[in-house]
Amino acid sequence: MDKIDRRRFLKLAGFSLASSALFFSTKAFADSQRIVIVGGGIAGTTAAIYLKTLVPNLSITLIEKNTKYTAGIMSNEVIAGLRDISSITFGYENLNKINIKLINDAAVEIDTNDQLIHGKKDKYKYDRLILAPGISLDWQSIQGIDNAKNITGWQRGVDVTTLKEQITNIKNGGNILISIPKGPISGPAAPYERASLIAHYLKSQKSKSKLFILDGNSPSEQTALFKSIWSQKYKDLIELQTNTTTEGVDVGNKTIITNQGKIKGEVINIIPAQRANLIAQQAALTDKDGWCPVDQRSFSSTKADNVHILGDAISPALGLRKTAQCANSQAKHCALAIAATITNNETYKRSMPLIDVEYSIIAPSYAISTVQIHKQAREGLRYQQLDTHVKDVKVADKAHREYGYAVSWFNNITQEIFA
């Protein structure tokens, strides 16, 4: 990819625009604008590419501590042995081809007054910052977790490969525990997808084992949907306990301590409560609940000037889920808003829907999905949800077709960003 042409631009945009309005007539001052993006995940990388497409002469720097990106999407297939982790791992080589500067450094502090980012290797000045830092995991609320070296969490990469190894090595008859915290998490349906695919593995390889889901949340439409499918495909393999909060861990006895009692498991996967990444908290960009409040039109921070925040770190009060597709859509809306401001072009200030889709793989070639469509509200900071469509697929051929859509979506979203 030596350049981003019009066809690629339209693919990235996700909606159709008149050809005369595709590119801004940029003003000279755009040359001197330093846009720095922290975080090379779905949101940050999409924002970089899309903004560079809109304003080609803009100086854009992406700061990312890792040289490779390991997706959370499809990672549960890795755990179940249905794909290799290399298939969800991507590089950033494409950024150099379109003159986006990539710096492999870890941002450790943001000074919003001086508009300065402190990294482990250097300092970086910005005129406008796009922060896509992801989440931090709140382990402090779980007693005894400090010594739990063999307990996996919710990190991409290392937790995925470790959990896969543990499940492969579990004795036939050993229990697996998955703990889900109360409140919003990255990938809201992902723990249930994980349970489904682990159950698929157990059904074929360790049929005497059982998986327990300890969910701190109340029953919902999502839990009802998964339970109805599990009753058909994984009967007696999965037991769901809602309103069950993990309070501690007895590492020696491989036991989770909950508000409902104790439960023992040979393999323990704890998904802790989550907040915006620590760097956002330290920069005073978060609210009392630990999330980042933003304006719904530009995703600009309500806590600091010239700062935009994207992805899983934003406040749930906005009304959006923490999914990869939602982060991708946010990045595009944010890029449009920034480009309009920099170039004084009014074209992209009009309101457009924000699309969000989350696929859940239940078994090989079997998937369901939830699609949400949002629009900007006339007042306030919250998006208005226009429609929700859940594909409760109980007919096999429809479920297989939905799986095909899931794979195509994954291939498209990763190729448009990392290829």
pLDDT tens over the chain, length 419 residues: 344 443 443 444 444 333 333 344 445 455 668 999 999 999 999 999 999 999 999 999 999 999 999 999 999 999 999 999 999 999 999 999 999 999 999 999 999 999 999 999 999 999 999 999 999 999 988 998 876 777 888 988 889 999 999 999 999 999 999 999 999 999 999 999 999 999 999 999 999 999 999 999 999 988 999 999 999 999 999 999 999 999 999 988 999 999 999 999 999 999 999 999 999 999 999 999 999 999 988 999 999 999 999 999 999 999 999 999 999 999 999 999 999 998 887 776 667 789 999 999 999 999 999 999 998 776 655 777 766 667 655 556 788 999 999 999 999 999 999 98
Same domain, 265 and 309: no
**In which element (H, E) is residue 314 found?**
none
pLDDT of amino acid 153: 86
Whole-number pLDDT of residue 16 = 35
Q: Is 414 contained in some domain?
A: no
pLDDT given for residue 141 in this prediction: 84
Looking at residue 24, its pLDDT comes to 42
What is the model's pLDDT at position 134? 97
Residues 26 and 120 in one domain: yes
Out of 223, 253, 273, pick the residue that ends a domain. 273
Domain that holds residue 34: 6-134+277-351
Specify burial of residue 106 (Cβ count, 10 A radius: 0-12, 13-18, 19+): middle
State the pLDDT at residue 369. Answer: 92
Per-residue burial over 388-403, b if 16 or more Cβ lie within 10 Å, else e, is: eeebebeeeeebeebb
CATH code of the domain covering residue 27: 3.50.50.60
Q: Is residue 60 part of a domain?
A: yes
Query: What pTM value is reported for the model?
Result: 0.90
**By the 8 A CB rule, do 137 and 272 touch?**
yes
Note the pLDDT of residue 172: 97
How many domains does the chain contain in total?
2
Same domain, 126 and 147: no
Measured distance CA(78)–CA(75) in Å, rounded: 5
β-partners of residue 262 are 257
pLDDT at 386: 67
Residue 262 lies in a domain: yes
Does residue 319 contact residue 330 with C-beta atoms inside 8 Å? no
Do 108 and 147 sit in the same domain of this protein?
no
pLDDT of residue 12: 44
Domain termination site, one of 326, 351, 376: 351
Q: Which of 273, 295, 321 is the C-terminal boundary of a domain?
A: 273
In the block, tokens 């007539």 appear at 25
- Is 359 a domain residue? no
Does 229 fall in a domain? yes
Verify that 151 and 126 share a domain, yes or no: no
Q: How many CB atoms lie within 10 A of CB 241?
A: 14
